[in-house]
Structure 1
Amino acid sequence: MSFRVGQGFDVHPFEEGRKLFLGGIEIPFSKGLKGHSDADALLHAIIDAMLGAAALGDIGQHFPDTDPAFKNADSTKLLKESYARVQEEGYSIINVDSTIVAERPKLSAYIPGIRNHIAEALGCNQNQISVKATTNEKMGFIGREEGIAVHAVVLLEKV
């Protein structure tokens, strides 16, 4: 068996007048994340981790923010397309582990739905998807509630 590990990171500032999406789920909040697509930092970090594990580059190479085709794009579609590219290389997901870093909004009530959505998008079991949330203890731009950061790790297996 051949295993590959990839790590991903994404960060977006908050922006007034946008909806907040994390893990493909709309989270009720007064601000959304600024970005060319729907700015779903969780799915973007997972995409980068997945592509990295398969040595396929990063999200910006596949879905550049300079391409109008991806303006306000649904990141769930980008996740599915990225996983299809990973599968074309002969890999399947063993597990995803991710951490959202945000002071607000509080996310614990949304995590089961987020895990379920990601598992459905990737065609795997919910027990293969881990999503955690933490704060930055009021330090830095996250602590000042200026944005959200996400770390993700993906383990792939050659099939």
Structure 2
Amino acid sequence: MNIRVGQGYDVHQLKEGHPFWLGGIQIDHTHGAVGHSDADVLIHVICDALLGAANLRDIGFHFSDKDAQYKGIDSKILLKKTLELIRDKGYEVGNIDTTVCLQAPKLNPYIPDIKTCLAGVIGTDMDNISVKATTTEKLGFVGRKEGVSAYATVLIYKK
């Protein structure tokens, strides 16, 4: 079996009054992530990890923030396009392991909905997607509630 592993990392600034999208769902919060698209940091790291695993460069290469067609785009669309790219090379998603670093809000109540959403977009079982959340114990830009960061590791395999 031909398997490959990829990893992703992303950061977005948080600002008051912006919508907060994470893992394809909107979370009610006073602050949301800022970005060219909907700034869904979790989907962005998953895309980066998948693209890296398939040796297809990164999310910025395929979906440039200089390209007007991606302004405000729903990141679920970017994930679908990423899946098309890796599937065109004959790969399928094995599993995805993610960690979101965010001081507030607490994400635990939202994780089942995030996993359901991601599994639906990817076309896989929820058991193949892990979403973990942590704070930075009030340290750094995450701890000061200035931003959100996320990490992803993925396994893909040749069909």
* Root-mean-square deviation over aligned CA pairs: 0.5
Taking every aligned residue pair, what percent have the same amino acid on both sides? 50
Gaps of 5+ in 2: none
Gaps of 5+ in 1: none
Structure 2 counterparts to residues 7-156 of structure 1, below 5 A: 7-156=7-156
Cα distance in 1 for residues equivalent to 2:116 and 2:10: 21
- The more displaced of 8-17 and 89-98 is 8-17
Tell me, what secondary structure is at the counterpart of 1:141? helix
Aligned pair count reads 159
TM-score (norm 1): 0.99
Cα distance in 2 for residues equivalent to 1:151 and 1:104: 17
Runs of 4+ in 1 over 6 A off after TM superposition: none
Aligned-pair CA distance for 1:81: 0.6
Cα distance in 1 for residues equivalent to 2:63 and 2:17: 24
Matched, 1:5 2:42: no
Aligned-pair CA distance for 1:96: 0.3
TM-score (norm 2): 0.99
